[in-house]
Structure 1
Amino acid sequence: MLQISKNVIIPDSEIEMNAIRSQGAGGQNVNKVSTAIHLRFDIHASSLPDYYKEKLLSLNDRRITQEGVIVIKAQEHRTQDKNREEALKRLRALIKSAVVFQKKRQPTKPTRSSQKKRLEQKNKRGQIKSNRKPIIDD
């Protein structure tokens, strides 16, 4: 069971995990032992609340396929158990990040002194540029 929040729990039967051979350096151990974990979680078939499903499917994340399946590959650790824990931790983090409520940005107005300072700097810069022009006598 994977607990996302107080009320949201994902049963183990909805999470598909396969042990696969890990990539990268490691010598013989990498070639003979399947320590990496390939986790698949079908959003549509899950028991997650509809709100969670909508938020997850609207995410633009490379780990979510077009069919609505989350695919996570964990291979950082040397043991299968630690990689399994890592994959579940990443799944939990992905689901939690999808439903985080974004605060509405409160636009701030520039202060009167900052506006005055900006205009003074603009005028000063304009004076510098106008002083570069050659003086024409008529």
Structure 2
Amino acid sequence: MKTCYAALMAIAILPGLTLAESELEVSYILASGPGGQNVNKVATAAQLRFDAVRSPSLPDRVRARLLEIAGSRATREGVIVITARRFRTQARNREDAIERLVGLIREAAHRPAFRVATRPGRAARQRRLDGKAHRAGIKRSRSVRPED
């Protein structure tokens, strides 16, 4: 059973970054999990599809990082597919799928801190060697030595 849902609302992701709900395509499929016999009769799992490549809402930097983070959830065409089936109702599963997409986009929008690789200093190397020597002494004291 396929039902598309598109409203004219905007989903706030970050200040200055919103996503129009019309860019999302939600369909409902049969789910496993909680729900008893209801699961066998009603299509409650929500499958959200978001075309990241053609989305006018995403800056290029965020788009590239989003497709990288999405991994196997992204198709070759750049469509991100999220399936939510944790809850018993279509509405809750739909909300869950949207929340997961928003989380992915937020993670993609976050710029990782630029880290300059450094080497440990002399004192840090000495502390490491002292710790290794201390640990070796503890292990040495545990060994059973034959009496002379």
TM-score range, shorter chain: 0.7 to 0.9
Name the Cα RMSD after superposition.
2.7
CA distance in 2, matches of 1:116, 1:22: 55
Q: Could you list the runs of 4 or more consecutive aligned residues of structure 1 that deviate by over 4 angstroms after TM superposition?
A: none
- Matched AA of 1:12: E
Aligned partner of 2:111 in structure 1 is 101
CA distance in 2, matches of 1:74, 1:80: 9
CA distance in 2, matches of 1:30, 1:23: 6
CA distance in 1, matches of 2:36, 2:70: 36
Q: How many residues align?
A: 125
- Matched AA of 1:34: A
Stretch moving more, 23-32 or 81-90: 23-32
Taking structure 1 as the reference length, what is the TM-score of the superposition? 0.76
Q: How does 1:7-46 map to 2 (within 5 A)?
A: 7-24=16-33, 26-46=35-55
The 1:116/1:10 distance shift into structure 2, 3 A limit, reads: closer
Q: How does 1:54-65 map to 2 (within 5 A)?
A: 54-59=64-69, 61-65=71-75
Taking structure 2 as the reference length, what is the TM-score of the superposition? 0.71
Ranges in structure 2 where 5+ consecutive residues have no aligned partner: 1-9, 141-148
Residue 115 in 1 paired to residue 126 in 2? yes
Stretch moving more, 50-59 or 101-110: 101-110
Identical-residue share of aligned pairs (%) = 40
Aligned partner of 1:74 in structure 2 is 84
